[in-house]
Amino acid sequence: MQPIYIIIPVHNRKVLTLACLENLKANGDLQKYHVIVVDDGSSDRTAEEVKANYPEVTVLQGDGNLWWTGAIALGMEYAYQQGATHFIWLNDDSLTAPNTLDLLVDFLKKHPDSIVGAACYEAESGQLVETGVKGRKRVKALEHEVVEVDGLSGYCVAISVSVFNQIGAPDANKFRQYAGDGMYTLKATRAGFKVYILGNVKAVLVEEKDPIHNFNNYLQKVKYRNFKSIFWDYKSPYHLPTQFYYHTYKYGFLLGLPLFIVKLFSWLVRFYV
């Protein structure tokens, strides 16, 4: 088996997690690559079901406080200790095509100082999702395109160990749930690594994506509309400490702070009006 580790962060989505693992098995990836499921304190017997049905999978346990970024960081650190040459981030709602992971790994072997992501499609609509960021613009890669980006969403992303050697794991303190993926890949580009989306490498996202990039749409969809749930809950993309760290890291403190304040004011106006 190759020293390549697929890291799947999970929490209380047993059906999705098992479907993701079954898809990897059907594609031959479960037999070819090491798989780590990081279960962050699930109460729906996710860990037990994974161990019973997929004994070849390593299950790492969290206590419910890892969130996405902490789970990814724990998985990467464990894989690194096992001698990993490459890491693959895979969300449990992302179903890869039969050759997706092979193509990502092959690309990294040819471009070792890189991070590369699959082109992701919504399952229901078939729409191509914008999973990359270039400057302030969200971008995607059409079939047969290779698009260089500054940052990537972490649905299905392969990373060379050289990246980890230089910049370590994602920052789970500042970006617990949201922005951990994009800020890590941005940090990698600033350290001299290249980040790409491969248009001919595909994954299907079986869960509907939340409208996190449009505040009004997010307000309409959120179940509990109160200040704490919108601005002070790690589950919210508008969690204020995360947004503060995001803006000041991406744009620098002198520009990022006023940008954050302007956005905060606009969010508060729309929240209360």
Q: Hunting for tokens 């399952």 — which residue is that? A: 123
pLDDT at 209: 65
Sign of the dihedral through C-alpha 154, 158, 162, 165: positive
pLDDT at 192: 96
Q: Is residue 211 scored above 70 in pLDDT?
A: no
Burial class (CB in 10 A: 0-12, 13-18, 19+), 70: buried
> Alpha carbon 175 to chain centroid distance?
12
Q: pLDDT tens digits, residue range 55-107?
A: 999 999 999 999 999 999 999 999 999 999 999 999 999 999 999 999 999 99
- Per-domain residue ranges for the chain? 4-205, 215-272
**pLDDT, averaged across the chain:** 94
User: With bands split at pLDDT 50, 70 and 90, how would you rate the model's confidence at 217?
Assistant: confident
Contact residues for 189 (Cβ-Cβ < 8 A; gap 6+): 150, 151, 195
Phi, psi of 111, deg, nearest 5: -130, 75
The listed CATH number (2.70.150.10, 3.90.550.60, 1.10.3720.10, 3.90.1180.10) that belongs to domain 4-205 = 3.90.550.60
Helix spans in the chain (H) = 14-27, 29-32, 46-53, 67-81, 100-110, 161-167, 180-190, 215-221, 227-231, 240-251, 253-272
DSSP 127: P
What is the rounded distance in angstroms from the CA atom of residue 46 to the CA atom of residue 43? 7
Reported confidence tier of residue 185, pLDDT bands at 50, 70, 90: very high
How far is residue 156's CA from residue 197's CA, in Å, rounded to a whole number?
Answer: 10
Confidence of residue 194 (pLDDT cuts 50, 70, 90): very high
